[in-house]
Structure 1
Amino acid sequence: MSRYNNNTQYPPQGGQQQQQPYYAGPPQRAPTNPRSPVSPGGHNAGYPPQQPVGYGGPPSGGYNHNVGHQGYEIDDSDGAGLMNNQGRAGGPPPHRQNTLNHNLDRNGYPQGPGPLPRSVSKLDRSATMNRRSVCHVPLTDGNLVMDCPVPQQLLQNVHFKGEREFEYMRYTAATCDPNDFFKERYTLRPTIYRRQTELFIVMTMYNEDDDLFIKTMGSVMKNIAHLCTRAKSKTWGKDGWKKVVVCVVADGRKKCHPRVLKVLAAMGAYQEGIAKDTVAGKPVTAHIYEYTTQVMVDEELKMRGADRGIVPVQILFCLKEQNKKKLNSHRWFFNAFAPQLNPNVCILLDVGTKPSGTSIYHLWKAFDRDSSIGGACGEICADLGPNCANLLNPLVASQNFEYKMSNILDKPLESVFGYISVLPGAFSAYRYKALKDSSPGVGPLSSYFKGETLHTSGDAGIFESNMYLAEDRILCFELVAKKNEAWLLRYVKSAKASTDVPDSIGEFISQRRRWLNGSFFAAFYSLAHFTRVLTSGQGFFRKIFLMVEFLYNAINLVFNWFSLANFYLTFYFLTVAAANNANKDFQPFGDWGKMTFSVLRQVYLAAIITVFICSLGNRPQGSRFIFILAIILFAVIMGVMLYLAAATVVAVVLPELQKANAVQHMLDLLKVQGPFRDSVISLASTYGLYIVSSLLHFEPWHMFTSFIPYLFLLPAYINILMVYAFCNTHDVSWGTKGDNKTAELGGATKVTKDGQDVLKLEKPTNKEDIDAVYQLNMQELSVRPDAVKEKRDAKTKQEDYYKMFRTNLVLTWMFTNAILIIAMTSSFTLGSDDAQNDKQPTKEDMFNPYLSMIFWSVAALSAFRFTGSVMYLILRALFG
């Protein structure tokens, strides 16, 4: 795929750095990785170096590299760091003289032998970046591909030296669509080195800051280091890092956080001033930086190397020129890079998600153990912060409980049946072979990427547009329903990852709007096409299991549709039963009971109306005080419901317990009193099974820390989140707006020199400038900026004001009319017979068939989930 220069040796012997950009093509073709693709014309996509580079042995100098030693512990302890600007004098401790953990002097520069080539404190960044040389770069199959030397400081104390892979960063300016990456004859470093890629990890980001990026990247690198410690594995071992490629995709050059670029530059995977926005008159669509780094930046902004267990990591940084959303980022990963590397397993991560130290191995092991698994996910936990301080926020605590119970009841149940409705894009894995299209335009990936063009084509309906808000659910269904392939999905409990959850009302409601609408319409899609499972190649009993699961999903969908009415009816019947109770010992609110319940019912209706009005046009961020007030009102109503339910049970049970043979009396009571029996069974099957299942999974702590906040916020999940979601089904945005205006980088002009087509461009080549800019980057990275409170711009403030004014006007009009209606129709004002009589309630007052149906349905669904959870534990214990 490359145009060869017979006078150039790849890689050059001795690893000596060159100041001119290096032509990145090998001198000759050789047999390639058996899994590497071959172009239709017989052109091999894999190019080996002239000498295969071996990284298994220790570098020159007698260093005893023990990273691959079985059981090597990754050190997470604190220590002196390259970017730890504490103003301390002196060099690193004697036992770390050959490591990357240097102290900084008072100006923030690493201390070591020899002066810097230039005073960084007086360095003018713009002047240095503008000081460039005109270079003529040979075209690589008509493309701009060049190797750029990394800063000398990065190479001073690394363990692997003398190889071009570690001393040069490879830059490629892609001018094509991701689908045409292979056709346009672009190559990637692992392909050139004939490496078999077992794991291909993608980290997608938009404008996340450096803290979130460091958290995810550091965890990924520690996971790769763990793979290298598994000396007895047939796949992994001390050279296991060669089988892993980490792809970082940034959605838009202008949107990428500048400090993230500084972190990547500190690791050697990015250099400022290299990128070009046009090549031979064609606009660049993505800037691709490839480098095998030997260092990581930890959460304290310290550089860590092999002395802390860090192994080399192959990084592929794809900086998209324009912001085209997450699906486009995944298209670069799956359609541009994966066909060349042909990995076995692809792992999807969002920047901000932090896998635990062995999670990636456990995810991979599930695929290695069972060849029928096409996709898998681990347990996503809410990030609770230092000492679980985030649990003090009721919103975070309720989400923590929600996540935990989903991982205890829902995911295990679906895993037993073989179809998980959603593998979270924040932390999931797929077998690449299973994702490939069965024919052009037909298959899981084609269906997955269909959502990228829906909102711009103008041809999609509102149903399809909402459905693709949950594109990961579509991918899961298409994978299981893939014709004649018989793929299954699994939940891997031992693979855990933490992620930030919304801690403010506005962010929480906006997130759930997309989740609820996407999941609702995607569920309809899967149910409408469930017959495709019959042609998926599954066995007879597996098809039966899947049909049962689809029936379960259909019942859940119906209950979700009527959840608003069901919740209000439950509240209404509880209050009516309490108000009409003839037991003088059971009067929850004394003589004020009927009036209190009547007022609460009117408050409930008023809160619902308010939420509907605010949801019809207001941003949650602009109306957060009204939403907070509604949440408080519903929490009070939930408290009353819990009190009435508990008081009812106590009032009935206590007299029976005081009698002789109390157990027999209780059993007789359950047989005779239907409403009491229904209430007890419903409560026990819900909250009782929560406790039992949590104990069976050895994870009971969320019941103590998060159960109460979840109970009181449960009405908000139904009456606020669902109302807002359905009131905004017209909003099919992804939450970010595309911004395709970017700063100019300068172009690479195609010219002819000595009879050969070359590219004329400007780039920094002065060795002192490269090192000086690196020093300045490290200095700026060492100073953590002050937290800036997010502010709304003037346009957004104006829009929020207009919408809020309209809401206030409508609310005022509605409330004045509603207050008059309440005043004229309430039992307190009318003094009706129902408000004053003390007669014994009839059977119709005490028993309601619809309420009993709701209670028994809840009990049945809870029992079904619990059974699936127990079956998962049994299968996990038997088969791993």
Structure 2
Amino acid sequence: MDNSNRRRNGAGSPGRPGEYEMLDRNMSSQHINANPSAPPLGAPQYAAPDQHAVSRSDLDILETTAPMYAGSYGYGVQHPDSTVGFYPHDGQYVQQQQPPPPAGMYQHEYAGSGYGDHGLAPAPKPLPTPHMMTLHEPYSVPSTPVMTDDGKAPAAKEARSGSAAGVRFDPRIMPEPDPVVASLYDVNAMPPPNARKYKRFQSQRKQKRKEVELTSGNLVLDSPAPSAVLSKGKFQDADEFTHVRYTPVVCDANDFKNRRYTLRPALLGRQTEIFIVLTMYNEDEVLFNRTFTAVMKNIAHLCSRTNSSTWGERAWEKVVVCIVADGMQKVDKRVLAVLGALGVYQEGIMQRDVDGVETKAHVFEYTVQSALDANMNFVGYKQKMPPVQVLFCLKTHNAKKINSHRWFFNAFAEILQPNICVLIDVGTKPTGTSIYHLWKSFAHDEHVAGACGEIAADLGKGCRNVLLNPLVAAQNFEYKISNILDKPLESVFGYITVLPGAFSAYRYSALRNAAENEGPLYEYFKGELMHTDGADSSIFQANMYLAEDRILCFELVAKRRCRYILRYVRAAKAVTDVPDTLAELISQRRRWLNGSFFATFYALAHWYRMLRTRHGPYRLLMLTLELIYQTISMVFSWFSIANFYLAYYFLEQNLKTIFDNRRDDTIPSSQKISLNADPFHGAGYIVMEVFRELYILALVMQFVLSLGNRPQGTKFIYRFSVLIFSIIMVIITYVAMYSVVYTAVHTNYKNGIHGLLHDPKFRDIVISMASTYGLYIVASLAYFEPWHMITSFVQYMIWLPSSINILMVYAFCNTHDVSWGTKGDTGVAVSLGQAKTEKKGDKQVAQIHVPADADDANKDYDIFVEELKTPREQKVTKRDAATKREDQNKIFRTTLVLSWMSTNMVLAMVISSDWFRDVTTKGDQTGSHNIYLSVIFWSVAALAAFRFVGSIWYRIRFLFHD
């Protein structure tokens, strides 16, 4: 892959020999003229004090610009030997010397905190907190290439990012990186983690980063944390524990780095190994606490691995948890109360705009030392919970989950440069070691670009949800079979069609674009354009990006000049809530089915891009086999309604043959079929004919309901339909099993078992059922997980026809609806502060309102805790009905549905016609054998066997890894 996308492993990560060869070359070229034996020269010259005057009190709450020491970027005259760097000398990394700063020079709080054992003594400073603070004008000198004299970005930069007038913003395109800013975040410029000068380098690096941020003129507030929060923690000295860092971001996510915003872990000089994002919409505090506490336990597990070269007691310093809330008016207020009780969120310091520019995102940074469990009790270091670096991004407007991911990847990850990114939806609960196992899959194979674990349905206490709700049980069986058969098979091939957005991980270097308009993230963020005003996209693309995670998976495996694969990690498990009502399930599967169908079609149509990769012949062969398998599966999915109807129809024809034979008086009694051959003792044909008519009625009802009604408004009719389909499935199963048993009992075994196998009706039904349900049992036992076969198999079988005839019909009939459920944004809260700038003499100052002292934060903390003690008010929410571009989307919907219905109807009519039966049953007096049904049964058997082989292959191959 390109060097621009390459990065070495995180600190202490297992690597290969020669891991730092590029680092050696870079440092040798940068410092080829350095003389390590040269004595330090005199102190450098600085500009006059009045040019850089700044009060210490201003720096405590409001971070402004301040000179650091010789070598600081953009301040005064730089001494020739003031630059700090490393170069190889006699097999060691030697630091170029730098004179100490002049006496009395202010050292910033992060540089002198002493936290993390950097060896720098903390600088004593007072802690005043005035109501009105002054923001000084950023100091700009000719050597500053990015900022103009007024502290604003040049017009060229604005136009480049799409913010200039008349230029429509494109979220896929990142602006050209500023070379000075990029150099300060280049992890290749540091010595190896075990080098003698590593800590010293990190100390210098964080000071430089801080100075670059201060030259941008960005508003950053440090507010004291509530004393009650500090009292629950083990650490109470460093600023990351004592102060909340708040940044009102007034630019787009793509411009975050170039506008010289930065984050606290970067200021502290920490290398982020795992960057976790928790995406949140309007989930309640119970779901949030469950997810956040589970993540905290995973970090505690990393800290417990003291024998690891990467992890250990201070492993939490290598992990950052980012919480992104999608809209101030959508986030649950009690979740904000939870974050306030943990010390992360403070409403009093938030600014609605800065100098008239609206705040796009409110970023809070705080290292929490406690969490709230499911019973709303605090858990902390006494329960062996480690500190957790939390980054809370509260977006001003609701802009969908994909926009939240853009803030995560294009803004925050660009600053932290993590090794692995983990995506988790709020409400998902990873088990205690899941994140570690995901990370381990990347550490063991550099070609792994993405990984996912097992997503399991929340069964409730004592499997209560499964035993009491058949809908939950059916979904539990689907999840289990997918994790036993589908995911292992795809993992063996190297291409998993979907890494669930609820719990998955990616290698950040693999995600990054290879060029400006080419790469995984570029294609991924196309989805954000599909739902904006004036978007130049088709309804096909809009539906395809309902499953944007599938697009990302394909782009990773098909990335040009790379050989990335995706992997399933069975040891990583996460539990999530599943819909427990029919209306919720129908609405959820509408987006899933439409997105997966169109995304799969996209992947199949662009499979030729695999030839542009660097996959070897073996991998290309495996990917081609998967292409064939996915194509066949897609065809079967398209004709699923016709196949289900025909299975019922031909079973009915068997009973009709018995019925006609018994009523025909011309047939001698000795040649008549026994009445016991009919499962209903003569009434089988009548029973099945009645329910066949009910089946057609229920199916037509689905099209009528799906084209004009919401599931929430027609619950009774949908429940009636489920009842009809469930009875039909019971009848099909009973008739098929009865026929098999009757044939086996009344077969002449003089020729052995061969006579039984030559009966086509018996052979086809037995092989199909055994290869499907029998392999379910064998595969479940091979993975030592047979319990879902006991608790959920029956419910799944009864639900199966409803999933085909209800969910798929509703999904295809609503392809015009590409909404993400994000409508109804009511605007921005008006109670926030506003930062306004004005000229005072030769300085630009900003007037803002902040809490007067730490006691205000304590009062807010008490309010948060009191709110959490108050029972939640039950509110009835209503969803707006309007969708954009509805007229043209409905035309596409009608065309698609008619094509789908007509092809299925033609197939069903042809196969069930007398002409087809006469042609295919020549020589069969009973007329019970049908070639088409045999093809269907054998195809089902072949596909099931194919999945089983892949599953067992995965089990054998990765047995010792798990």
Range of TM-score over shorter length: 0.7 to 0.9
Query: One-letter code of the match for 2:561?
Result: N
In the alignment, residue 875 of structure 1 is paired with which amino acid?
R
* Structure 1 stretch displaced more, 673-682 or 410-419: 673-682
Deviations along 1:212-247, one digit per CA (max 9) or x if unpaired, are 000000000110111001001111101111100000
User: Per-residue displacement from partner, 1:193-220 (whole Å, max 9, x unpaired)?
Assistant: 1110000000000010000000000000
Q: Is 1:326 aligned with 2:326? A: no
Summarize the Cα distance change of 1:5–1:669 in structure 2 as closer, same or farther, 3 Å threshold.
farther
User: How many Å separate the matches in 2 of 1:48 and 1:367?
Assistant: 36
| Residue 776 to residue 343, structure 1, CA distance change in 2 (3 Å) | same
Report what 1:463 is aligned to: 540
- Structure 2 match to 1:784: 871
Per the alignment, residue 753 of structure 2 pairs with 666
Mapped to 1, the partners of 2:854 and 2:650 lie a distance apart of: 80
Other-structure match for 1:224: 299
Aligned to 1:867: 949
Task: Check 1:26–1:229 CA distance in 2 against 1; reply closer, same or farther (3 A cut).
Answer: farther
Partner of 2:262: 187
Report how far residue 337 of structure 1 moved: 0.6
In the aligned structure 1, how far is the partner of 2:382 from the partner of 2:681?
72
Tell me how far apart the structure 2 counterparts of residues 198 and 603 of structure 1 sit (CA, whole Å). 59
Amino acid at match of 1:180: D
1:51 counterpart (112, 121, 126): 112
Q: Do the aligned partners of 2:232 and 2:369 also contact (CA within 8 Å) in 1?
A: no
Counting only pairs closer than 5 Å after superposition, residues 744-763 of structure 1 correspond to structure 2 as 744=830, 745-753=832-840, 755-763=842-850
Match of 2:68 in 1: 27
Q: Answer yes or no: is the 8 Å Cα contact 2:54–2:66 preserved in 1.
A: no
The alpha-carbon deviation at position 758 of structure 1 amounts to 2.7
Higher relative contact order (CA 8 A, sep 6+): 1
Alpha-carbon distance in structure 2 between the residues aligned to 1:754 and 1:160: 43
- The two structures have a TM-score, normalised by structure 1, of 0.81
| 1:606 paired residue among 691, 694, 697 | 697
The question of whether the paired residues in 1 share the 8 Å contact of 2:224 and 2:854 is answered with no
1:691-706 matched pairs, under 5 angstroms? 691-706=777-792
Q: 1:876 to 1:5 in 2, by over 3 A?
A: farther
Equivalent position amino acid for 1:162 in 2: D
User: What is the CA distance between 1:133 and its match in structure 2?
Assistant: 2.8
2:63–2:219: 8 Å Cα contact kept in structure 1?
Answer: no
The residue that corresponds to 1:768 in the other structure is 855
Matched residues in 2 for 1:10 and 1:762: separation?
A: 15
With over 3 angstroms needed to count, the CA separation of the structure-2 counterparts of 1:629 and 1:564, relative to structure 1, is same
Aligned mates of 2:925, 2:364 — CA distance in 1: 76
Q: Distance in 2 between matches of 1:458 and 1:425?
A: 25
> In the alignment, which residue of structure 1 is the partner of 2:738?
647
Task: Quote the offset at 1:136 in angstroms.
Answer: 2.3
Tell me, in whole angstroms, the C-alpha distance in 1 between the residues paired with 2:264 and 2:86. 13
Contact 2:349 2:833 in 1 (8 A): no
Deviation at 1:878, TM superposition (A): 4.6
The Cα of 1:735 is off from its aligned counterpart by 2.2
Which residue is 2:143 aligned to?
A: none
User: For 2:499 and 2:716, how far apart are their aligned partners in 1?
Assistant: 34
Alpha-carbon separation, structure 1, partners of 2:499 and 2:55: 47
The SS at the match of 1:554 is: helix
Of 465, 468, 480, the residue aligned with 1:404 is: 480
| SS of match in other structure, 1:545 | helix
8 Å Cα contact 1:380-1:499 kept in structure 2: yes
Match for residue 620 of structure 1 among 706, 711, 717: 711
Letter in 1 for 2:851: P
Aligned to 1:288: 363
User: What do the CA deviations read for 1:484-531 (whole angstroms, capped 9, x no partner)?
Assistant: 110000000000000000001111000000000000000110000001
Paired residue for 2:593? 516
2:795 aligned with 1:709, yes or no? yes
Q: Tell me the residue number matched to 1:444.
A: 520
How far off its partner does 1:163 sit? 1.1
In structure 2, the residue matched to 1:206 is 281
1:427 aligns with 2:503: yes
- Tell me the residue number matched to 1:828: none
Shift of the 170–859 alpha-carbon distance from structure 1 to 2, 3 Å rule, reads same
Contact 1:376 1:490 in 2 (8 A): yes
Following superposition, the deviation at residue 444 of structure 1 comes to 0.2
Residues 31 and 735 of structure 1: CA distance in aligned 2, closer, same or farther (over 3 Å)? farther
**C-alpha distance in structure 2 between counterparts of 1:31 and 1:631, whole Å:** 72
Q: Counterpart of 1:377 in structure 2: which amino acid? A: C
The aligned residue for residue 903 of structure 2 is none
Cα 1:55–1:303 change in 2 (3 A) is farther
CA distance in 1, matches of 2:408, 2:339: 19
* Residues 365-514 of structure 1: pairs in structure 2 closer than 5 A: 365-391=440-466, 392-456=468-532, 457-514=534-591
Question: In the alignment, which of 919, 928, 939 is matched to residue 846 of structure 1?
Answer: 928
Listed as ranges, the matches of 1:817-836 within 5 Å are none
Counterpart CA distance in 1 for 2:476 and 2:117 is 43
2:437 alignment partner in structure 1: 362
> 1:424, CA displacement in angstroms?
0.4
* One-letter amino acid of the structure 1 residue matched with residue 297 of structure 2: K
Aligned mates of 2:292, 2:724 — CA distance in 1: 42
Of the three residues 253, 262, 267, the one matched with 2:328 is 253
Q: Residue 225 of structure 2 is aligned with which of 141, 150, 162? A: 150
**RMSD over aligned Cα, in angstroms?**
2.6
**Could you tell me which amino acid in structure 1 is paired with residue 609 of structure 2?**
R
| 1:24 Cα offset (Å) | 8.5
CA, structure 1 residues 33+842, in 2 after alignment: closer, same or farther (shift >3 Å)?
A: farther
- Structure 2: distance between partners of 1:679 and 1:32: 75
Deviation at 1:259, TM superposition (A): 0.6
Kept in 2, the 8 Å contact 1:33–1:195? The answer is no
Name the TM-score, length of structure 2 as normaliser.
0.74
- What is the aligned partner in structure 1 of residue 615 from structure 2? 538
Deviation at 1:869, TM superposition (A): 0.2
d(CA) in 1 for partners of 2:227, 2:839: 33
The separation in 1 between residues aligned to 2:638 and 2:721, in whole angstroms, is 21
The 1-side partners of 2:457 and 2:352 are apart by 40
The alignment partner of 1:134 has SS state of: coil
3-state secondary structure, aligned to 2:752: helix
Given that residues 56 and 238 in structure 1 are in contact (C-alpha distance below 8 angstroms), is that contact kept between their aligned partners in structure 2?
no
The 1:317–1:358 alpha-carbon spacing in structure 2 relative to 1, beyond 3 Å, is: same
Query: Per the alignment, in what secondary structure is the counterpart of residue 579 of structure 2?
Result: coil
Do the aligned partners of 2:303 and 2:314 also contact (CA within 8 Å) in 1?
A: yes
Give the one of 754, 760, 770 matched to 1:684.
Answer: 770
For structure 2, the residue ranges without an aligned partner over 5 or more in a row are: 1-48, 73-82, 88-107, 122-128, 138-213, 659-672, 884-921
State the alpha-carbon separation in 1 of the partners of residues 442 and 478 from structure 2: 28
Q: CA deviation at 1:766?
A: 3.4
For residues 766-824 of structure 1, give each alpha carbon's deviation from its aligned partner in whole angstroms, at most 9, with x where no partner exists: 333321221222122233325x264548x87x99xxxxxxxxxxxxxxxxxxxxxxxxx
User: How far apart, CA to CA, are the structure 2 residues paired with 1:644 and 1:25?
Assistant: 84
Distance 1:21 1:738 in 2: 36
The answer to whether the 8 A contact 1:372-1:486 is kept is yes
Distance 1:845 1:207, change over 3 A: same
2:131 aligns with 133
Is the Cα contact below 8 Å between 1:323 and 1:740 reproduced in 2? no
Q: 1:6 to 1:269 in 2, by over 3 A?
A: farther
User: 440-449 or 271-280, which moves further after superposition?
Assistant: 271-280
Does the 8 Å CA contact 2:65/2:136 hold for their aligned counterparts? no
Number of residue pairs the alignment of both structures matches: 740
Supply the AA of the counterpart residue of 1:610. Answer: M
**Superimposed CA distance per residue, residues 136-168 of structure 1 (whole angstroms, 9 cap, x where no aligned partner):** 244641221111111122123421122111101
The separation in 1 between residues aligned to 2:854 and 2:630, in whole angstroms, is 63
Stretches of structure 1 lacking an aligned partner (at least 5 in a row): 13-17, 35-46, 61-130, 800-839
Q: Pick from 236, 245, 264: which aligns with 2:339? A: 264
Q: Secondary structure at the match of 1:476?
A: helix
Q: Aligned in 2, Cα 1:768/1:229: closer, same or farther, shift over 3 Å? A: same
User: Any conservation in 2 of the 1:32–1:194 contact (CA below 8 Å)?
Assistant: no
